[in-house]
A and B are shown apart, each in its own frame.
Chain A
Amino acid sequence: MTDYNFAYLDEQTKRMIRRAILKGLAIPGYQVPFASREMPMPYGWGTGGVQVSAAVLCPEDTLKVIDQGADDTTNAVSIRRFFERTAQIAVTTATADATVIQTRHRIPEEPLRDGQILVYQVPIPEPLRFLEPRESETRKMHALEEYGLMHVKLYEDISRHGHIATAYAYPVKVADRYVMDPSPIPKFDNPKMEMAAIQLFGAGREQRIYALPPFTRVVSLDFEDHPFVASKADHPCGLCGAQDSYLDEVIVDDAGGRMFVCSDTDYCAGRQVDGHRGRDNKEDAA
């Protein structure tokens, strides 16, 4: 792959993307249009995240790629390989060792620190999209800070179901100005978004980039009498016993047997190395 520039994209394209990222950081939560390129992987597979990662990666960076919290899901493997091949950079599965983490649908359990960048893959960047399908309208609504429709939607959820019926991609208000889609992370992850690392969001097909500088105020939308609750399955992890991590439910037999395990595989493995054991873990503690 020596025919391609470092991290695949040409320098002019990276410059264009960096400009969009800087604008996004200057106006947290604002969706910056950018001239997304056709990448050698399909739209919907993380082309926005890949372009953002390509624009911020330096040769000395260490990259981690996760999908659903796991380093070994097929698409995470594929994206990590893409950068190994086109940028010859170091890769890791350890959250603490990574300088750039590209993610789909999760924020790692281990708190991120200053100097790290978390790049989200975003399918639909527009939090108002399913209330108003027209881009021309939603841009106006953001410009006028016209978010009544969103509150009405949340209110209708409560009156119909007794709860806000949004479990992932739960809308947030950023720096008291823009309502933003946190990408389809479970709402369990929302409170983590006020973090020390830089967060960048790339939507390739929709041609939008947005960003959160470190410790930007991120408030999950709610009502005083129906406060936001970051929920997860009410179990400990079956492998490492963690009580505080987001869990995947795995069907283990054809009699409906279930087991709950950390979706963050690095977190889970790290805890097991430290000797933690869950109820379903038959391996002896080292």
Chain B
Amino acid sequence: MYVAVKGGERAIDNAHAWLAEERRGDPAVPELSTAQIREQMTLTVNRVMAEGSLYDPDLAALAIKQARGDLIEAIFLIRAYRTTLPRFGSSLPVDTGAMACDRRISATFKDLPGGQVLGPTFDYTHRLLDFMLAADGDVPVAPKMPVDPAPVPHVMSFLNSEGLIAQETCDGTPAPDLTRAPLELPAARALRLQALTRGDEGFVLGMAYSTQRGYARNHAFVGELRIGSVPVEMEIPELGFSIEIGEITLTECETVNQFTGSKTEPAQFTRGYGLVFGQTERKAISMALVDRALRWEELGEDDQGAPAQDAEFVLYHCDNIQATGFLEHIKLPHYVDFQSELELVRKLRRDAGAVDRQEAAE
């Protein structure tokens, strides 16, 4: 008897129960706490905060635990939560020039005011599995140095003073909000950056990499990469002045790109910009490269037809929550559509067979 469509309700309940059990794993192994995830899986927490567009390490850790470590699923949990939160207003722009840097490097100048600070990076580690970690060893204390109170100005400001790099000025237009208005094209740079900073790390990385391999190559140098904390300030109308409401860690990447000039612009360097929540430097560098590629039109460059130059292509496909939803929905029932295709293919084959038989008879 035909029963396939019955029992959906019980199947869902039982699937959820099984999922919860699988998430926990072997009960003989101690349960992972969200504090452990927050403290020891920091970079995944950062990615979930960045692509979930919500700066909250505790909630990100909870989402990672709930999602069994599936980061896109965790990002989805954060997004779905975030969308229900009330909006109090906008903060003032954060001053990344005043960042308390944990890491600050420039690939364009050997030394510069503020110095080069490697910070906690994997860059020069040898990628050898450390079996000591499997044995729960204590970590030796890292050596410390007193903080240099001198300011750490943006590298770009040195090029600025010579007029060698294109100036980016604020025209005072309030920043758009991608989460409160439908994406419409053409998208201004502020909107593009907003989409990129919450875009899928893998997608943005792939796009950036394609520019390096010649699909709209834009000769990027990392002018500066800095990671550290900045205060977030907000103007409270009742007070009439701004107050600090918290502190967030950001990764900022500014690229210096060769530019030989065009009909409208003199020869000078141009910039790509990346700014992402948390320590997320692969993403920030990728974002800067893609940002620069997307600026071809305003800089009067040629459209090379490269994917990374195509704002519509990049912006419509960089969101992993949209992408994964639509991709995975094809596992939902499509009996009805498939049935109509079955009928059609049978009809086309029948007709083709009739023609063949007729031709054979003639």
Do chains A and B interact in one complex?
yes
Q: Which of A's residues lie within 8 Å of B, judged by CB?
A: 4, 10, 33-40, 42-45, 47, 67-70, 72-78, 81, 104-106, 123, 134-136, 161-163, 165, 167-169, 184-188, 205, 207, 231-233, 238-239, 246-250, 252, 259, 261, 263, 265, 282
Report if B131 contacts A (CB, 8 A).
Answer: no
A40 to B12, CA, bound (A): 16
A44 to B80, CA, bound (A): 15
Report if B312 contacts A (CB, 8 A).
Answer: yes
A167 proximity list for chain B (CB < 8 A): 337, 340-341, 343-344
A76 to B336, CA, bound (A): 14
A94 to B342, CA, bound (A): 29
B182 proximity list for chain A (CB < 8 A): 33-36, 207
Q: Is the CB of B336 within 8 A of A263?
A: yes
Contact sample, A vs B, 25 pairs, CB 8 Å cutoff? A34-B182, A37-B83, A38-B179, A38-B321, A40-B80, A42-B76, A43-B325, A44-B330, A70-B5, A72-B5, A75-B333, A77-B9, A105-B334, A135-B185, A167-B344, A169-B337, A184-B334, A184-B336, A185-B336, A205-B322, A231-B343, A231-B347, A246-B339, A249-B342, A250-B2
Q: Is the CB of A44 within 8 A of B329?
A: yes
Q: Is the CB of A165 within 8 A of B83?
A: no
Q: Is the CB of A72 within 8 A of B9?
A: yes
Q: Is the CB of A163 within 8 A of B347?
A: yes
Known contacts A73-B8, A76-B8, A162-B351; is A45 also within 8 Å of B340 by CB?
Answer: no
A40 to B184, CA, bound (A): 24
A123 to B324, CA, bound (A): 13
Q: Please, which residue of chain B has its CB at the minimum distance from the CB of A9? A: B84
Report if B141 contacts A (CB, 8 A).
Answer: no
A35 to B2, CA, bound (A): 42
A36 to B181, CA, bound (A): 8
Q: Is the CB of A248 within 8 A of B185?
A: no
Give chain B nearest CB distance to A92 CB in angstroms. Answer: 15
Report if B166 contacts A (CB, 8 A).
Answer: no
Report if B7 contacts A (CB, 8 A).
Answer: yes
B127 proximity list for chain A (CB < 8 A): none
Give chain A nearest CB distance to B320 CB in angstroms. Answer: 10
When the two chains form the complex, which single residue of A10, A33, A38, A77 contacts B8, counting CB atoms closer than 8 Å? Answer: A77
Main secondary structure of the interface of B (DSSP, over half): helix
Q: Is the CB of A135 within 8 A of B316?
A: yes
A167 to B333, CA, bound (A): 17
Using an 8 Å CB-CB cutoff, how does the interface string of B288-321 with A read, 1 for contact, 0 for none?
0000000000000000000000001000100001
Q: Please, which residue of chain A has its CB at the minimum distance from the CB of B354? A: A162
- What 6 A-B pairs have minimum CB-CB distances, sorted nearest first? A44-B329, A43-B325, A167-B340, A42-B325, A33-B182, A186-B340
Q: Is the CB of B6 within 8 A of A72?
A: yes
Using an 8 Å CB-CB cutoff, how does the interface string of B50-89 with A read, 1 for contact, 0 for none?
0000000000000000000000000010011011100000
Give chain B nearest CB distance to A120 CB in angstroms. Answer: 13
Known contacts A42-B76, A42-B328, A72-B7; is A248 also within 8 Å of B321 by CB?
Answer: no
When the two chains form the complex, which single residue of B83, B327, B333, B337 contacts A38, counting CB atoms closer than 8 Å? Answer: B83
When the two chains form the complex, which single residue of B5, B6, B316, B339 contacts A233, counting CB atoms closer than 8 Å? Answer: B339
When the two chains form the complex, which single residue of B4, B80, B343 contacts A250, counting CB atoms closer than 8 Å? Answer: B4
Give chain A nearest CB distance to B81 CB in angstroms. Answer: 8
Q: Is the CB of B6 within 8 A of A44?
A: no
A259 proximity list for chain B (CB < 8 A): 2
A72 proximity list for chain B (CB < 8 A): 5-9
A68 to B5, CA, bound (A): 10
Known contacts A44-B328, A165-B344, A252-B2; is A35 also within 8 Å of B180 by CB?
Answer: yes
When the two chains form the complex, which single residue of B12, B326, B348 contacts A74, counting CB atoms closer than 8 Å? Answer: B12
Give chain A nearest CB distance to B51 CB in angstroms. Answer: 12
Q: Is the CB of B325 within 8 A of A265?
A: no
Q: Is the CB of B84 within 8 A of A78?
A: no
